[in-house]
Amino acid sequence: MKNWFKSGDPWIWLTAASVSLSLIVVFSLVIIIMARGLGYFWPATIIEARYEEPNVPPITMLGEIYDYEKVLTRRLSKNLQPLANGEEFIKRSLIKTGNRELYGLDFRWVVAPALKEIRYPENVLVVERREWGNFYGYLQALKQNGQVVSTGEEAWKKLSGELSRAHDLFSKINHIEKGEMGAINYNLEKLRLKERRLQLQNDSDPKKKAEIEEQRQSYHKQSEEHKKQLTDLYKEINRDSIVVKEMGGKEVEITLAKVVAAYRPNSLSFPQKIAFYLGKVWEFMTDEPREANTEGGIFPAIYGTVIMVLMMSLIVTPFGVITAVYLHEYAKQGFLTRTIRIAVNNLAGVPSIVYGVFGLGFFVYFLGGSIDRIFYPEVSPAPMFGTPGLLWASLTLALLTVPVVIVATEEGLSRIPKSIREGSLALGATKAETLWRTILPMASPAVMTGLILAIARAAGEVAPLMLVGVVKLAPSLPLDMNAPFLHLERKFMHLGFHINDLGFQSPNVEAARPLVYATAFLLVLVIIILNLTAIWIRNRLREKYKSLETV
């Protein structure tokens, strides 16, 4: 046994077991997140049942069983204790009944044994709305301009076509409001700032003022034309509506302009459920959030996360590489250099919120405020760069991750044989040429390793971003078709903050819970894709310069 320990085999097995256990834990966590998150998009079966409590009139319950739990009977009210039949524990279910504007709640806990006469009607309708969440009921009629045009099954057959028409009109309205009108308002604001700058410069050139006024009138004319188009489109989209009978027997009219989808989950076949599921997953990734982020998609958060990480990578790579090259190739190796290295290594352990406070104080208030005073005085008192935004968030995360890139690059430089440098210098190359044409290409895999680690850390950070640019809901994307196209001063959405907002600040906790898992899985997926891309580039570079390392 002693010889076996001396051979080192136990430590090999211990290391292998530790790595295996870590992989099992990581994969198990990802699978749990994926199952809980992606399962949310599967069309749930709708139940109809009579809910009977002692000393309370029975009611009809219509909705989907969302969750269940077993609780002690003493936790329930006295009226419900007889339902336990002497058992210590009793099962209760969380049912999503929707119809929030009628009952004030989306969900309600019910004692499972109190649900009687449970059935699964095939004609029950789920209406997913842009406001007020889901509506559950039975389709009664389809209306056009307030007049009933069809009822019952005939209304259901026509609903799909009318809903497609409403979606097309909604897309046109959205394009005009956010695209055309958004561009006009953006240009009008630029004209206002241009006019304000002329006033601050005491420039009273009538020709310049005339040009500004001419452009303003042109934009106002375009705006009026778009408003007329919107008036016609709103009239068309509000033409159709449906009448749905809810579980209490009340008939409610819902305008199709407010409907995202209407379907009968209990009558869907398995292939139809798969198609529905894939459509919902795609909608989740490409649509904008609704209802305080508890419904809809998270495309702006994905977009903001990727843009911020790419900008951070473009900033941190040159700074980290230049610093590492100076410390390893040019700086005199002494006490000062060793102190700097120790400081760089310690910076990697500083809490991220400290970087956020520094970014807010230095980048936003000091640097951004100075830029506004010098280059954009016309925006005062509203700040332009003197407020949290994409640029300052990227710089803050670059500062947070630069120690990782420095350390990884230095390690790569130290692995390059001294003979490579000496051979290059002996052939007549200068030190700069040797560095640029030989040393840095050979160290590029190490640079990519540092960048991979930087991306992995930066993409999941939330605390510093809350101070330097991320918001709950951004009105517009940082990249659009308005010059200068990439708007560094704009605030943005982020997947990490979106998870924090859903998990801790959502007004509808039960509705937000599965979206927390789905967003977390998507964040992990984005980080994996970014890392795999960087790893692929690193491997290509490593194979390209592998022969030089053996010299």
Amino acid identity at 282: W
Q: What is the DSSP letter of 492?
A: B
Amino acid identity at 75: R
Task: Band the pLDDT of 27: cuts 50, 70, 90.
Answer: confident
Q: Where on the phi/psi map is residue 486: left (φ > 0), alpha (ψ -120 to 50), or beta?
A: beta
The kind and range of the H/E element at 200 are helix 181-200
Residue among 137, 128, 225, 133 nearest 167 (CA): 128
Where would I find the beta strands (DSSP E) of 354-449? none
Residue 83, pLDDT > 60, answer no
- Report the alpha-carbon distance of residue 365 to residue 382 in Å, rounded: 13
Q: Which CATH number fits domain 303-549: 3.40.50.450, 3.40.1030.10, 1.10.3720.10, 1.20.1070.10?
A: 1.10.3720.10
Angle between helices 440-458 and 390-414 (to 10 degrees): 140
Selected residue with higher pLDDT from 269 and 77: 269
Q: Which long-range contacts (CB under 8 A, 24 or more apart) does 535-542 make?
A: 535/448, 535/452, 537/448, 538/444, 538/445, 538/448, 538/449, 538/452, 539/445, 541/441, 541/444, 541/445, 541/448, 542/445
Give the whole-number percent of the chain exceeding pLDDT 90. Answer: 28
How high is the pLDDT of residue 88?
63
Q: 243 and 252 in contact (C-beta within 8 Å)? A: yes
In the predicted model, what is the mean pLDDT of residues 257-277?
Answer: 92
Q: For residue 484, say if its preceding peptide bond is cis, omega within 30 degrees of 0.
A: yes
Residue 37, pLDDT > 50, answer yes
How high is the pLDDT of residue 72?
67
What the block records as the tokens of 445 is 């895999």
How high is the pLDDT of residue 10?
78
The residues near 313 (Cβ < 8 Å, ≥ 6 apart) are 451, 454, 455
How high is the pLDDT of residue 84?
43
- Report the alpha-carbon distance of residue 375 to residue 361 in Å, rounded: 20
The residues near 363 (Cβ < 8 Å, ≥ 6 apart) are 392, 395, 396, 468
Q: 404 and 318 in contact (C-beta within 8 Å)? A: no
Selected residue with higher pLDDT from 80 and 128: 128
- Report the alpha-carbon distance of residue 473 to residue 385 in Å, rounded: 19
- Mean pLDDT lowest among 101-105, 156-160, 293-297, 509-513: 509-513
Residue 375, pLDDT > 70, answer yes
In the predicted model, what is the mean pLDDT of residues 323-340?
Answer: 85
Q: Which residues pair with 481 in a beta bridge?
A: none
Q: What is the pLDDT of residues 422-448, one digit of tens each?
A: 888 888 888 888 888 888 888 888 888
What's the mean per-residue pLDDT of the chain?
A: 86
Give backbone dihedrals phi and psi of 550, rounded to 5 degrees, phi first: -90, 0
3-class secondary-structure state, position 300: helix
- Report the alpha-carbon distance of residue 481 to residue 287 in Å, rounded: 19
Task: Band the pLDDT of 277: cuts 50, 70, 90.
Answer: very high
Domain residue ranges of the chain, discontinuous segments joined by +: 46-120, 138-279, 303-549
The residues near 317 (Cβ < 8 Å, ≥ 6 apart) are 405, 447, 451
How high is the pLDDT of residue 137?
92
- Mean pLDDT lowest among 299-308, 484-493, 528-537: 528-537
Residue among 236, 400, 418, 245 nearest 308 (CA): 400
Q: Which residues pair with 368 in a beta bridge?
A: none
| b/e code 387-398 from CB counts within 10 Å (16+ = b) | bbbbbbbbbbbb
Residue 395, pLDDT > 90, answer yes
Q: How many CB atoms lie within 10 A of CB 41?
A: 18
How high is the pLDDT of residue 415?
84
Residue among 473, 255, 493 nearest 390 (CA): 493
Q: What is the pLDDT of residues 198-221, one digit of tens each?
A: 888 888 788 888 898 899 999 999
Task: Band the pLDDT of 393: cuts 50, 70, 90.
Answer: very high
Selected residue with higher pLDDT from 89 and 122: 122
> Cα–Cα distances in Å, from 196 out to 192, 371, 374, 379?
6, 17, 15, 8
Task: Band the pLDDT of 87: cuts 50, 70, 90.
Answer: low
In the predicted model, what is the mean pLDDT of residues 148-174?
Answer: 91
Q: 50 and 117 in contact (C-beta within 8 Å)? A: yes
The H-assigned helical ranges of 435-489 are 440-458, 465-468
Burial class (CB in 10 A: 0-12, 13-18, 19+), 458: buried
